[in-house]
Amino acid sequence: MKRGRQIRPMTVDDIPQVGRLFYKTFRNRASNSSNAFNDYFQQLFFGSPIYQQQYGSIVHETSAGHISSVVSAVPMQYMVDGGIITARLLCAFMTDPDMPCHGAAELALTMRPRNQDLCFTDSASPASAGAFKAARAALLPVHGLGWCRVFQPAGFFARSAASRSTLGRHAARLPIARPVDHIIRRMIPGLHVEPGAGMHDEDMAPELFVATVQDFLSDYPVRPVWSGPELNWILDVARLNASLGDLNIRSVWDQNAELIGCFVYFGRPGMIAQVMNIFSQKGKDALVINRMMYHLEQAGLVAARGHVQPRQLDALTRQRAMYYKHRAHTCVSTRHAGVLNAIDRNDMYIGGLAGESWSRLVSDFF
């Protein structure tokens, strides 16, 4: 007997079928997903220590038992006006182009604010953002901006070309960028970063990071809770994203040996650093950001990229050799008035480790 169409929580048994749909949607390949993909998918969407089925991914299943559409989601605990709720970080939204589109529409309707305590994404496509807007969700345009600070222009362009084409990858291996950058950096002093008087940075033990990061977020009324088990799990899964380089956590100290901030980034010498998050004491954003830029330059990164936190925009604009561009759409769906008020005041913390950019699904499995 055929079942009626239904929206239901995703289960581990669905992963092979969902993996095939992922490849078809995002990789333009009609093939089964690899075992490595399936294992990672299970770890990402079912492995969180706070995972509960009601806060996980959902699928639309046809009467014949085929999954036609999927919203993949990672549960994340958030503080909202002093109380803790479990939010959904929405990741890949996929639908089978060879099936009727009503499954995608029905899934989109479940994301309406009246149905959600809190769900959000910082990686929505224009089409997904349009669906969110139609469902009366909130769009956060400033959060969707990306910034880039260049240290070595020739190396940066070589790395950028390498990410776009096979020819670019071959060209990037030619040892011409470094001598060119040596000349350019002598001609353009603004490419250099000053260290900041009395400032220093150092490797930060994950235990110290987990224990202190909430101190830097305490004045956000809507922010990730990041309990020890949850944040350690995020860091462990993020470290698997080797395509972005090593995951680095650095603490920043002032002339009085006081911890005033920290930053998290992926990268290795010769690469473009992917900055996940910058945390600082109130009023110390510019100092922490400048010290981060100095570290990245001295460590041999050719450039650094990250997302804009509205409160840090002024400090970011004080940096030289910077440019900004639209990165992706950030969308929030919630029935809580406190979240909407926080969004209006730029008092909601989203992005980086409180987002999707650390996931291998964004930058790997091509």
Task: List the CATH code of the domain at 145-327.
Answer: 3.40.630.30
At 204-229, the pLDDT tens digits run 999 999 999 999 999 999 999 999 99
Does 179 score more than 50 pLDDT? Answer: yes
* Of residues 148, 143, 5, 157, the one with CA closest to residue 69: 5
Does 163 score more than 80 pLDDT? Answer: no
Residue 28: Cβ within 10 Å count: 7
Q: How confident is the model at residue 153 (pLDDT cuts 50, 70, 90)?
A: very high
Instruction: Specify the pLDDT at position 327.
Output: 93
At 319-329, the pLDDT tens digits run 999 999 999 99
AA identity, residue 3: R
Class for domain 6-142, per CATH? alpha beta
Helix, strand, or coil (residue 8): strand
Six token digits for residue 72 = 């993949």
| Residue 101 φ/ψ, nearest 5 degrees | -85, 0
Mean pLDDT for 98-111 is 78
Does 1 score more than 50 pLDDT? Answer: no
Mean pLDDT for 233-261 is 97
Instruction: Give this prediction's pTM.
Output: 0.92
Write out the H or E segment, with its range, that includes residue 51: none
Domain with CATH 3.40.630.30 in the chain: 6-142, 145-327
Q: Rounded mean pLDDT of the chain?
A: 91
| Cβ partners under 8 Å of residue 326, min gap 6 | 144, 145, 146
Q: How far is CA 309 from CA 120, 136, 267, in A?
A: 15, 23, 20
- Sequential DSSP letters for 165-205: -HHHHHHHTSTTHHHHHHHHHHH-GGGS----TT-EEEE--
Cα 150 to Cα 160: distance, rounded to the nearest angstrom: 12
At 258-292, the pLDDT tens digits run 999 999 999 999 999 999 999 999 999 999 999 99
Helix, strand, or coil (residue 208): helix
Mean pLDDT for 38-53 is 97
Six token digits for residue 148 = 């880039």
